Structure 1
């Protein structure tokens, strides 16, 4: 039996294309970046791979701490299964006052130094993963994204008393660098972010994934250590600067709570000790296989480019300081003004190394000053 289509093929294509995956904001905010190669994109969608709520917390922290503007909004009707992900509805005084936001969008943010980057956040889509990953890849090309980093968090047999591991995978050596990587083969459940990685890799775009190894016994609770380490890893590989002070305070509080619980239970302490022994052995073996790798808890070493830039800034600062001093020496000498400055800044005139005006005054008294300057001062008086 041959099935006949009532709609011509070209009309079918038209109907399919009308199902818009996303809507661009109008007027569109600027997505310019200090990097001529284009901005970075951070993908932090909340889904199953979010132990310790680390990925969701990372996105929420960035949106709360930094200036942001929406660039593209994805269609919930195309991507969300409301029966499996029912939004929370709030009723007050017999009226609906609020419905939980399930919005999935892409935003442009400015880091602490004013540098632009993109953030894709919200619920992981339930439907149309292939079309969604293609749409995200189209936006990556539209905004000329230089590098994309997808964030994950997985429950692992790791103790909370050791530095948290963030493992990396990807097709760009600059993004993976000397981070912790898996040597063998591993099979994991798929996700929408993984499909985005595959699509970007197929288009020749730089992409990587960072996974925080969250202790399995705290995976169901917020674990700020994982959020902090994910964002720190993004900073190290992109040069972005995030305000992380509030996360450090949360880390100290959670660390204290875990320490108290461990101390009060011999059973928990025994389990943690066994995990510590396994962790230490695994890290020692990894170090022997990768002597140049940056181990968890070790500081990120600056690159040659960063060292060169810092040295140039240092030389520029010295030149600016010397130029300022020369300009100050060329000003007419006014003892009354010098005295007011000393009184204001509590400068001791007995310390000539911090008082250029006093030093020049002594040179003038000893006859070593410039005659022209002294003549101008007398005429000014």
Structure 2
């Protein structure tokens, strides 16, 4: 008898999900320059504490030898086994606004079946928009705003926020396939490609995660607090500046990248970058935004009269 495992398992304790929520997709895999997507997933899981709705099967989708689980060893015995996770969850932003998030590893196998399952979830929950983010290394300086290339069906976002609009072919990711399938279905979908300085691509660059969160805010209106990330980024940039200032070759490279970047942006008819490394709200700004948000909501008496 052939052996088979379901593609995913629905959570028996999943809460009710309102219809019409935005869907956010974050999949690590082929490229993740600056750790943008892994940082985004870590932020969602650690800060927002999402509730799983469906857990995808590692035995079906994951190549264990390519991305091995982590085990913990204590003196003479094993204490923990941590497999990779790919989950569809319900989360809430800093203002309590709900949204759906598909986060985890990029599947190694069964892309078509995976894409169809995600589209079926989107249809069942009647999602309002679909937004995904990934990051690639580019010859750009870290002293300038992080730019984006935006694709999908939301022309307003592409026109406003794409600083680079290439005509090219690239190795596909599962995120590309999902965007294509959502676009074919007529969904409102946007893909943000973050353009990360190539010399920082193999590091954990906090600004990359900030830019990923900022992109989601632009596309969905969700609000995320970024105080800790901003502080980490300030410390990170200080270390980078120390290395650059102490090395003539690095200084010349950075100056050349800045000159090329400034010349390109000065002559470009494309959008100007709005993704900055420090423009997420501070705690005080977030509190003020929350007050404004609550002030626009109907009171309990208004709800009863409606």
* Same fold per superposition (TM over 0.5): yes
Are 2:4 and 1:22 equivalent residues in the alignment? no
| 1:36-185 equivalence runs, <5 A | 38-185=20-167
Give the 3 Å change call, closer, same or farther, for CA 81–44 of structure 1 in structure 2. Answer: same
Q: Distance in 2 between matches of 1:248 and 1:184?
A: 30
Q: Distance in 2 between matches of 1:297 and 1:172?
A: 18
**Shift, 1:61, TM fit:** 0.7
Would you say how many aligned residue pairs link Structure 1 and Structure 2?
283
| 1:1-381 equivalence runs, <5 A | 19-32=5-18, 38-286=20-268, 289-290=269-270, 293-296=271-274
Q: Distance in 1 between matches of 2:188 and 2:217?
A: 16
**Shift, 1:177, TM fit:** 5.0
Q: Is the 8 A contact 1:71 1:107 kept in 2?
A: yes
Q: TM-score, normalised by structure 1?
A: 0.70
Q: Is the 8 A contact 1:65 1:243 kept in 2?
A: no
Q: TM-score, normalised by structure 2?
A: 0.86
Q: Distance in 2 between matches of 1:25 and 1:177?
A: 39
**Shift, 1:175, TM fit:** 4.2
Q: Is the 8 A contact 1:174 1:237 kept in 2?
A: no
Please state which structure has a larger fraction of its residues in helix: 1
Aligned CA-pair RMSD: 2.4
Q: Is the 8 A contact 1:51 1:220 kept in 2?
A: yes
**Shift, 1:32, TM fit:** 2.0
**Shift, 1:193, TM fit:** 0.8
Q: Which has the higher contact order (CA 8 A, sep 6+)?
A: 2
Please state which structure has a larger fraction of its residues in strand: 2
**Shift, 1:101, TM fit:** 2.6
Gap regions ≥5 residues in structure 2: 280-288, 297-306
Q: Distance in 2 between matches of 1:84 and 1:131?
A: 21
